[in-house]
Structure 1
Amino acid sequence: MHPVENEALPQAGHADIRIVAATPEAARAVAEVIRRCFAGTEQRSYPVPEGGTRLHLTVDTESAAGPVLSWLTTSRPLTRTGAHVDEV
């Protein structure tokens, strides 16, 4: 996995999402829920060395559905920000 600091940022108004799941079906199910809230690009999937699937997609956060858009505009960042322990 590449360190986060070496990854290019998505363009303004977009977010890159990576889903790691034990099966391709589980990853696709999560991606489907996300696509119901945001316009997005075609998903790309890759095998995980330990088994499972890593799915990548980019969503347009400026084209969010009504309830999601209102949540995004009123939400505040959590006080604990940064990577999880297992994230690079």
Structure 2
Amino acid sequence: MNCNEIESLPSSGHAEVRIIAQTPDTARAVAEVLRHCFAGTEQRSYPDPGGGTRLHLTVDTATPAGPACSWLAASRPPVGAGTHSDEI
């Protein structure tokens, strides 16, 4: 994306994921893990200008499955919890 392009935000409950890796196989392995946790669109891959592979996909975070469901539930702070002393 160059300075003149404006990228729109994904719809509510979705996230755009960009994976940059040395090889296409490495990028696909990371995308596969994400697809085990979230529903997602078909991945799109591009050559990276610096070499390697750039892979893009959109994941649906509103309906996580498997490991992401339990991880997201456990990672959300309790209602009313403030920042920790080691957080800025």
User: How would you bin the TM-score normalised by the shorter chain?
Assistant: 0.7 to 0.9
| Per-residue Cα deviation, 1:15-69 (whole angstroms, up to 9, x for no partner) | 0000000000000000000000000000000001111000000000112114412
Does residue 29 (structure 1) correspond to residue 26 (structure 2)? The answer is: no
Percent of pairs identical after alignment? 67
Matches within 5 A, 1:1-88: 1-2=1-2, 6-76=6-76, 79=87
| Structure 2, gaps ≥5 residues long | 78-82
Structure 1 length normalisation: TM-score?
Answer: 0.75
Coordinate RMSD, CA, aligned:
2.3
Q: CA deviation at 1:74?
A: 4.3
| Structure 1, gaps ≥5 residues long | 81-88
Q: Which amino acid aligns with 2:24?
A: P
1-structure distance, mates of 2:16, 2:53:
16
Structure 2 length normalisation: TM-score?
Answer: 0.75
Deviating beyond 6 angstroms after TM superposition, the runs of 4 or more aligned structure 1 residues are: none
Higher helix share: 1
